[in-house]
Amino acid sequence: MILTVTLNTALDITYRVPSLRAGASHRVSEVLERPGGKGVNVARVLAALGHEVTVTGFSGGPTGRVLRDRLTEVPRVTDALVPVSGATRRTVTLVDDRTGATTHLNEPGPHIAHAEWSAFQEVYEDLLPSASAVALCGSLPPGVPVGAYANLVRTARTARAARVPVLLDTSGAALRRGVAGRPDLLKPNTEELAELTGSHEPLRATQDARRRGAGTVVASLGADGLLAVTPEGRWRATPPAPLTGNPTGAGDAAVAGLLSALVEHRPWPERLIRATALSAATVLSPTAGDFDRETYERLLTTVTVTGVATAA
């Protein structure tokens, strides 16, 4: 079982309009509603790849009830969310059908009380012995300590069962504090990496992030693919050509690709190929955050990986 942690879950609502204009009224052509938050998105892709996944984090209020109801519709995903008194946030995406541009409105999330945070930590520790890997994903809701991810990484490293590998995918202060917990894998994009290290040169910034505590860093370079700096070597994965589409959820798909290949004990080049192909297939999908299996399998054969393994 792969465990994904989404402390700031969300009910994702997508509105499609023929043409988005500021200050105007719009007739919505399509509405899509589904459970979200980065770790939940990762879980959905992992389940589509055939992995058993448990989702934990927080859920509360009417929005949280809808989120949990929708989770029951996703095969191979188990709900271990912790109830809270506040209401789960909503994220609203506006899609302009004419241009393909997307506009995002993200609510901050409920305030988490000290007792609720303690209850989550107990659930998390109970789940670790059954986990083959852990993904800590997304923002921290109000009330959760800024060093929460560092503590959750350390807890996984000292779990009662065998040590559980941990992937961290967050930003801002949560990333700066979280990397000090020494996660096995850090998955920032270039903006997050630059904010963490102060460097806008991807290779230099990735190496610096490793020095700050991450075992391996896989940086998302947008349309240019992925850059991985690991103890085993350094690689760059590149999609076959520039892609036009909706990038929403592409980073979460890449995380799912990395995790799925990690628990299958694939070598690093294969992990990067899978992650890059999934990310690209998500960009090309007409539904944000989803991927088409045929497109993904075709892209697996076209991703290019270059790099070198560290000499033994």
| Amino acid making up residue 55 | V
Measure Cα distances from 131 to 47, 99, 137, 162, 241 in Å.
15, 42, 16, 10, 36
Has 97 been annotated as catalytic? no
3-state secondary structure of 85: coil
Q: Write the DSSP string, 154-216.
A: HHHHT-SSS---EEEE--HHHHHHHGGG--SEE--BHHHHHHHHS--SHHHHHHHHHHTT-SE
Starting from the edge strand earliest in sequence, which strands make up the sheet with 102-106, in order?
A: 30-36, 10-17, 89-96, 102-106
Task: State residue 144 phi and psi, 5-degree precision.
Answer: -80, 130
Sign of CA dihedral 19, 23, 28, 31: positive
Spatial CA neighbour of 83 closest among 104, 114, 61: 61
Q: Which residue has the tokens 């779990």?
A: 159
Spatial CA neighbour of 256 closest among 94, 110, 45: 45
CB atoms near residue 99 (< 10 Å)? 9
User: Of the listed 12, 169, 184, 252, which one is catalytic?
Assistant: 252
Task: State residue 138 phi and psi, 5-degree precision.
Answer: 95, -170
Question: Could you tell me how far CA 77 lies from the centroid of its own chain?
Answer: 16
Q: Which residues are identified as catalytic? A: 252
